[in-house]
Amino acid sequence: MFVRDSRVRMLTILVGLMLLCAAPLLAGPGVYDFTLPSIDGSPTPLAIYKGKVILLVNVASRCGFTPQYSTLESLYEKYKDQGLVILGFPANNFGAQEPGTNVEIKTFCTRKYNVTFPMFSKVSVKGDDTTPLYQFLTQKANPAVAGEIKWNFTKFLVDRNGNVVARFEPQVTPDSPEVVEKVEKLLKQ
């Protein structure tokens, strides 16, 4: 009887371990599964940001919200040493407010707003040509943040485990208490 019970226990433990190991494989795609070209064109896997708190933002150079580059940079400077990274994704989906090339966008961001956080090549965040990352963010990442992007400077907050935990519409500035409190809370985890 003892041998049979120990075999059952051992089998239960093995099945449990197999399920634990398989869980990440069974999970759907996550933020870390995407690779996009940097503003300079080099492939950048988002997996390099594992363990960081990430704020993903679709940006534009000729938008009423463009001055948010300053507050995004301030937020980045204040918290980057604690593990925050801001990722900027230029998009020309709204009012043709990001018509420039990647070189022009980079020059504009660095000269006018002293942007030092990572910037990516221009993407589409809406429509038939939506980049897979933004398809994920708006459709699959988290039902609480799902929905079409309405305008430039929509922000998605990702925890250190790659979970999309919050969405902030363009009117919510990066230095608003709502954003800062959530960022600080995630940085402490």
* Catalytic hit among 63, 145, 165, 180: 63
Count of beta carbons in the 10 Å neighbourhood of residue 122: 20
Token pair for 114? 């002293």
Predicted model pTM: 0.84
User: For 95-109, how does the pLDDT look when each residue is reduced to its tens digit (9 = 90+)?
Assistant: 999 999 999 999 999
63 is catalytic: yes
pLDDT at residue 189 above 80?
yes
User: For 105-122, how does the pLDDT look when each residue is reduced to its tens digit (9 = 90+)?
Assistant: 999 999 999 999 999 999
User: For 129-161, how does the pLDDT look when each residue is reduced to its tens digit (9 = 90+)?
Assistant: 999 999 999 998 888 999 999 999 999 999 999
* DSSP β-ladder status, 53-59 and 84-90: parallel
Tell me the CATH number for domain 29-188: 3.40.30.10
User: For 34-50, how does the pLDDT look when each residue is reduced to its tens digit (9 = 90+)?
Assistant: 999 999 999 999 999 99
pLDDT at residue 182 above 70?
yes
186 near 159, Cβ under 8 Å?
A: yes
Count of beta carbons in the 10 Å neighbourhood of residue 149: 23
- Compute φ and ψ for 64, nearest 5 degrees: -60, -25
CA distances from 74 to 46, 77, 85, 174 (A): 22, 5, 12, 9
